[in-house]
Amino acid sequence: MRRCVITRYSKQLTPINYSCAFSTFSQCRERLNVSQLLSSGAEAKDAEVYGWVRSVRRQKKIAFAAVGDGSTIESLQAVLKPEHTANLSTGTAVKLIGSWQPSVGSKQSHELQVHSVSVLGENDAEHNPIQPKYQTAEYLRTIPHLRPRIPLNALLLRIRSQVIASLTRFFDAQGFVQTHPPIITSSDCEGAGEVFTVSSHAHKETHADGEHLQTNDDHFFRIPKYLTVSSQLHLEALAQAVDKVWTLSPTFRAEKSDTPRHLSEFYMLEAEVCFTNDLDDVMQIVEQMLSAVASDLLRSRHGAELLGVRGSSIQSVDGNINKEVTAATLEQRWKGMAANGWPRITYADAIRLLQNAVADNKATFTYTPNHEDGLLAEHERYVAAEVGGGNTPVFVTHYPRAQKPFYMSPSLTTENGNATQDTVACFDLLIPDLCELVGGSLREYRLKELQEAMAAKGVAGSSLEWYQDLRKYGSVPHGGFGLGFDRLLCYLTGTSNVRDVVAFPRWYGRCDC
Amino acid sequence: MRRCVITRYSKQLTPINYSCAFSTFSQCRERLNVSQLLSSGAEAKDAEVYGWVRSVRRQKKIAFAAVGDGSTIESLQAVLKPEHTANLSTGTAVKLIGSWQPSVGSKQSHELQVHSVSVLGENDAEHNPIQPKYQTAEYLRTIPHLRPRIPLNALLLRIRSQVIASLTRFFDAQGFVQTHPPIITSSDCEGAGEVFTVSSHAHKETHADGEHLQTNDDHFFRIPKYLTVSSQLHLEALAQAVDKVWTLSPTFRAEKSDTPRHLSEFYMLEAEVCFTNDLDDVMQIVEQMLSAVASDLLRSRHGAELLGVRGSSIQSVDGNINKEVTAATLEQRWKGMAANGWPRITYADAIRLLQNAVADNKATFTYTPNHEDGLLAEHERYVAAEVGGGNTPVFVTHYPRAQKPFYMSPSLTTENGNATQDTVACFDLLIPDLCELVGGSLREYRLKELQEAMAAKGVAGSSLEWYQDLRKYGSVPHGGFGLGFDRLLCYLTGTSNVRDVVAFPRWYGRCDC
């Protein structure tokens, strides 16, 4: 029992004691988690292990439990007396004390010879929605609060965390300022339509048949407000204060799409840099950033664990696809992304490439590629595979102005005058299978030209007065990009559906938990 | 002029060139920003400087411009010919080329003897809402898109970024998994009332008198959904997968409060850890985390710059307060936070302390302190100052169950049996001036007791079925906390109003830009 004394008040007031009546256990105490224990070669007489039972195997005189605690995809082998396993099933939370020693079996180097088992949390094995057998991805999406307990899903959580840490390090080292642009906003970056609206003062009445809503909108913010669809415009304002900014923040689209690539709520990584009129600069940042992320993954324990899973037949959240994305494929992806010098091709050249492919009978498409209709998913896939060679991301640049939003800079005439007529200085980054991962451009930084572009695109100036202001008082040439963070995780982890890399996915009709 | 060639397609297709017709300039080119230039002792013949004019001073034969680029609060002194400064005013964006050499004046070690001035973006000096004079904090809040251009506000952006980086490093080193819990949610953690509701399919009609909204709620998510008021419940689910989790994510309250401490949209740092039944563990994480942040600040260049501002009379966003929070005060705060061993006092003892203070005529309060009514702001301030001694944060623990939400664990009987009857194992962290900064607790991890607590608090079980599930299948003792991130920045930077540390603040009636 520890005593905690109020440092300044121990004399005047009764000292207090925070300990519980029963034996306490503590995060802060020096103890190793399963990952640390497995990777430490040392033996230990009275090792304490806290975790969840992954499986139990009972023999006549001996029983084995595989135990994990979310620190690694590996399990620790606990050796127990069969009579001590009566209450143990897949999911039970336990505290084990035992001797950590070289294993008798050959499947692991060490095992825990258990002296003492305490059940911290019982498991209702019969009704547990997570069962130790194959369960479809569709089913698991109905129980997002329990799904991360599956070892592969826990690994996906750890990899998300690692990628965030890599990005934070990268931008910090490059002198970017991490910012928190607003979520509730009055602007709609890409034109109205697919936004969620925000209101207050809704009164809930609970009826027998569920929950009903009476909207009594009191205009909390005076005029209607929306959930942001992109932080770009706000980032442009912040960039003009500190030159280079980035954010990784939630973004919303009220699209009724039901695809493996779209969510209603998703994380977007966005960055803006000032003092450049060279699109290459923006692409270079994207390339270096993703290269850093992929390099970290290649070197990391989590990366190695994922390759181990993809190389085995361990139950996966995306069952069938797992067979397609092998460990070898994944490693090639990471290496392709870690390497520098990604190919770049103009939109005009990409269309020509597609048309040549059709003419030469090298490819067939449902929709004939042409300059006006843009690159459809099937076209992007072909371009990504052909130009990138399968594992290297590809920049497609200089799209027609008609296909892109008002805020993009026009391409300027090039030395040899080709391919830039009525195009904008922008790029999409295509990756194999997933198609567009990043979109970026130089921004129109001149007031008159911006106003003309807004008028041409039918964007009402009134709600974007503030954005025009940025061009009135010391505007500078600048550019930036946005990356679909959840899609990046799909690609890096070989997960085919974005609903399976997001802990609590929201899409049309679905907002569980 | 650089040539960019498509690496795989250079032979088949026309090589493309991304360069602009006029001279390009580039982020990626090897050039120093103002901060790097100022701290480099080296001379340079043709230094290029990109930035914004902060002030211009003209003499007969010579002129001086102070130029900044957001990388530091310091200005670079540019020496120009008076005839070259005709278009320069506070805010103009410029490109300067010149000789970086030891200064003739004594106020700076080096200065830029300018050969060439290009105006990148003109400044409409007359109408620029940011003027080179004192402007009130209230006024500046009406122009959040321009406000960060004020050097102190840019510094606040950089410090926010630095604190995020410190936290990311801290949690990464401690084995915490950074997560992205959902923003749109069906649960309301602390009971209904102050939530924003989310709907889709609003049709906008623009009238002459502004924008009107026709709500046509199609129940995008089938039943009404809200903006999260806390990620705690979702974090608890994720913690049971990977043990230790954290997030720094946006949180919303539809409160109609108009105080310097409240926003409708703010960032909350939340963390949860499993396998503990010791409240000390949770407090220790808070203490170590904040200590790491404050230590980083004490050592950093941004920290030193802020002390420089607070020690001078530089224009501040919170004009009057600036005089109160001096550099010395700030440094004491940081040191108090960086040091370990913060005092802890129970709620019961805190009430006794307050009552004794009244009895002994050491303090007067508008509201007489008593056990039932809880600690009001005036009481918290006294406790923080008395127990913490002015600069050390103070933990107040074991509040009455009646004052706290349903999910908190009851305090267990202590050795000497005092002070824990009908209290919960929770704490508030009080800091001088700002009062509550962090709230945390052990969570009720037992199903029956949780359901009883929900019933007693009138929390409908139906919308929290999933949360109860967490107690059915291997529940473990766990705890966590939430910290108001923007308030932390107020405290660390000596900013009296939370609206001035958030780039685009939203509060009742106000959502500018």
d(CA A81, CA B362): 64
- Has residue B510 been placed in a domain? no
The single-letter DSSP state of residue B4 is B
Which chain A residues are closer than 8 Å to B254 by Cβ?
200-201, 220
Considering only the beta carbons, identify the residue of B184, B254, B469 that sits closest to A201: B254
Q: Which residue of A has its CA nearest to B165?
A: A168
pLDDT at B257: 83
Task: Using an 8 Å CB-CB cutoff, list chain B residues near A181.
Answer: 503-504
Q: Using the predicted structure, report yes or no on whether residue B165 has a pLDDT greater than 50.
A: yes
Which residue among B127, B149, B213 sits closest to A241, beta carbon to beta carbon? B149
Q: How many CB atoms neighbour CB B263 within 10 A?
A: 25
Given this model, what pLDDT does residue A201 score?
A: 58
Say if B21 is an interface residue toward chain A (CB within 8 Å).
Answer: yes
CA angle B162, A244, A281 (to 5 degrees): 140
Residue B3 pLDDT exceeds 80: no
Helices (H), B226-278: 232-242
Q: Which pLDDT does position B255 carry in this prediction?
A: 87
For residue B236, is pLDDT > 70? yes
Closest partner residue to B145 (CB to CB) among A237, A345, A349 is A237
Interface probe for B, chosen from A285, A345, A473 (most Cβ of B below 10 Å), is A473
Across the beta sheet with A244-252, the strand order is A177-178, A244-252, A265-274, A478-484, A435-442, A426-431, A394-397, A344-346
Q: With beta carbons less than 8 A apart as the criterion, state whether B399 and B419 touch.
A: no
Beta bridge partners of B246: B178, B271
Q: Establish if B318 belongs to a structural domain.
A: no
Q: A473 forms bridges with which residues in the sheet?
A: B123
Are both B341 and B486 inside the same structural domain? yes
| Residue A403 contacts residue A371 (beta carbons within 8 Å) | no
Token output for B472: 């059915």
| Closest by Cβ to B349, choosing from A13, A91, A467 | A13
Residues of chain A contacting B21 with CB distance shorter than 8 Å: 412-415
Same domain membership, residue B157 and residue B122: no
User: Is there a domain that residue B415 lies in?
Assistant: yes
- String of b and e for A191-221 (b: at least 16 CB within 10 Å)? eeebbbbbbbbbebeeeeeeeebeeebeebb
Pick B474's closest partner by Cβ from A123, A215, A254.
Answer: A123
Tell whether B407 and B495 lie within a shared domain. yes
One-letter amino acid at B237 equals A
pLDDT of residue A24: 62
Between strands B344-346 and B177-178, the pairing is unpaired
Whether chain A has a CB inside 8 Å of the CB on B198: the answer is yes
In this complex, is the C-beta atom of A207 within 8 Å of any C-beta atom belonging to chain B? no
- Neighboring chain A residues of B154 at a CB cutoff of 8 Å: 241-242
Residues A119, A160, single domain; the answer is: no
CATH number at residue B388: 3.30.930.10
Residue B140 forms part of a structural domain = no
Three-state DSSP class for residue B177: strand
Residues B74 and B173 in one domain: no
pLDDT at B190: 55
Among all chains, which residue has been given the structure tokens 């290029």? B48
CB contact under 8 A, A221 and B510: yes
Phi, psi values for residue A349, rounded to 5°: -70, -35
Q: How far is B132 from chain A (nearest CA, A)?
A: 13
Tens-digit pLDDT profile for residues A293-320:
999 999 999 999 999 988 764 444 444 4
Q: How many residues does chain A have?
A: 513
Residues 6+ apart with CB under 8 A from B219: none
Cβ-defined contact of B50 to A275 (cutoff 8 Å): yes
pLDDT tens string B97-132: 999 999 988 889 999 999 999 999 999 999 999 999
Q: What is the distance in angstroms between the Cα of A291 and the nearest Cα belonging to chain B?
A: 16
Cα–Cα distance measured from residue B297 to residue B306, given in angstroms and rounded to the nearest whole number = 10
Interior angle at CA B418, CA B417 and CA B424, nearest 5: 100
CB B454 within 8 A of CB B471: no
A84 touches chain B (CB under 8 A): no
A192 is in which domain, residue-wise?
A: 152-199+221-312+324-500
CB-facing half-sphere around the CA of A304: CA atoms within 13 A? 5
Neighbours of A48 (CB within 10 A): 18
Q: Which two tokens mark B498?
A: 């939370």
Contact A417/B at CB under 8 A: no
Q: How far is A324 from chain B (nearest CA, A)?
A: 27
B residues 341-370 lying closer than 8 A (beta carbon) to A: 341-346, 349, 352-353
A467-to-A148, B55, B96 alpha-carbon distances in Å: 42, 24, 26
Using DSSP, state whether B401 is helix, strand or coil: helix
pLDDT given for residue B213 in this prediction: 43
Residues (pLDDT < 70) of chain A are 1-24, 28-29, 188-193, 201-218, 312-324, 413-421
Average pLDDT of the residues in B189-215: 57
> Which among A6, A21, A161 is the nearest to B412, CB-wise?
A21
Chain A: residue nearest B35 by CA?
A: A175
Residue found under tokens 């503030």: A466
Same domain membership, residue A93 and residue A181: no
Q: Which residues contact A302 (CB under 8 A, 6 or more apart)?
A: A155, A158, A159, A162
CA distance B177 to A185: 30
Whether residue A149 and residue B477 make contact (CB cut-off 8 A), yes or no, is no
Both B46 and B173 in one domain: the answer is no
In-domain check, residue A244: yes
Same domain for B107 and B195, yes or no, is no
Average pLDDT along chain B: 87
Which member of A16, A343, A412 has the closest CB to residue B346?
A: A16
- Could you give the ipTM of this predicted complex? 0.92
**Cα separation, A269 vs B178, whole angstroms:** 15
H helical segments located in B174-326: 232-242, 279-299, 301-310, 319-324
How far, in Å, CA of A219 to CA of A222, rounded? Answer: 5
Question: Picking from B5-19, B21-35, B370-384, which range would have the lowest pLDDT averaged per residue?
Answer: B5-19
For tokens 């109408």, what's the residue?
B127
Interface of B with A in 106-165 (CB under 8 A): 120-124, 127-130, 143-146, 148-149, 153-154, 157-158, 160-161, 164-165
Q: Does A328 touch chain B (CB under 8 A)?
A: no
Chain A residues with CB under 8 Å of B30 CB are none
* Dist. CA B148–CA A243, nearest whole Å: 11
Q: List the single range of A392-401, B220-229, B396-405 with lowest mean pLDDT.
A: B220-229
pTM: 0.92
Looking at the structure, do residues A169 and A106 belong to the same domain, yes or no?
no
For B182, which of A1, A265, A471 is closest by C-beta distance?
A265
Contact flag A197-B198 (C-beta cutoff 8 Å):
yes
Residue of B nearest to A509 (CA): B221
Nearby residues of B307 by Cβ (< 8 Å), 6 or more positions away = B327, B330, B331
Per the CB < 8 Å rule, is A91 touching B474? yes
Residue B319: inside a domain, yes or no?
A: no
List of chain B residues whose C-beta atoms are within 8 Å of the C-beta of residue A415? 1, 17, 19, 21
Residue B111 region by backbone torsions, left for phi larger than 0, else alpha for psi between -120 and 50, else beta: beta
Count: domains in chain A: 2
Q: How far A480 CA sits from the closest chain B CA (Å)?
A: 12
Structure tokens at B306: 């802020």
Residue of B nearest to A88 (CA): B474
3-state SS assignment for residue B448: helix
* Domain finish residue from A113, A128, A143: A128
- Give chain B positions within 8 Å (CB) of A183: 183, 250, 252, 265
Within 10 Å of residue A136's Cβ, how many Cβ atoms?
12
Estimate the crossing angle of helix B485-493 against helix B151-173, to 10 degrees.
120
Q: Do B26 and A91 touch (CB under 8 A)?
A: no
Give the model's confidence band at B481: pLDDT under 50 very low, under 70 low, under 90 confident, else very high: very high
Q: Are residues A343 and A440 in the same domain?
A: yes
Q: What is the CATH number of the domain that holds B77?
A: 2.40.50.140
Distance from the Cα of A345 to chain B's closest Cα (Å) equals 6
Coil/strand/helix, residue A351: helix
Whether A506 sits inside 8 A of B182 (CB atoms) is yes
H or E stretch including B479? strand B478-484
A373 — contact with chain B (CB < 8 Å)?
no
Q: B251 by DSSP, 3-state: which?
A: strand
Task: Supply the pLDDT for residue B20.
Answer: 33
pLDDT exceeds 80 at position B414? no
Cβ neighbours of residue B267 closer than 8 Å, sequence gap 6 or more? A180, B248, B249, B250, B251, B485, B486
Residue of B nearest to A283 (CA): B28
Query: Are residues B284 and B433 located together in one domain of the fold?
Result: yes
Partner A contacted by B199 (CB < 8 A): yes
- Per-residue pLDDT at A15: 33
Amino acid code (one letter) for B252: F
Q: Which pLDDT value is given to residue A112?
A: 97
- Do β-strands B244-252 and B177-178 pair in parallel, antiparallel, or remain unpaired? parallel
Minimum CA–CA partner of A227 in chain B: B198
Residue B453 falls inside a structural domain: yes
Q: List the beta strands (DSSP E) in A335-466.
A: 344-346, 394-397, 426-431, 435-442
**Is the CB of A224 less than 8 angstroms away from the CB of B202?**
yes
Asked, for residue A7, whether it belongs to a domain, the answer is no
First to last CA, chain B: 39
- State whether B391 and B357 are in the same domain: yes
Asked if A28 and B280 come within 8 Å (Cβ–Cβ), the reply is: yes
Q: Is A221 on the interface with B (CB under 8 A)?
A: yes
Closest residue to A242, CB basis, from B158, B264, B475: B158
Give the pLDDT of residue B17.
36
B434 falls in which pLDDT band (50, 70, 90)?
Answer: confident
Distance, CA of B310 to CA of B323 (rounded, Å): 8
Residue B473 is encoded by which pair of tokens?
Answer: 């299948």
pLDDT per residue as tens digits for the range B279-337: 999 999 999 999 999 999 999 999 999 999 887 644 444 444 444 588 999 999 999 99
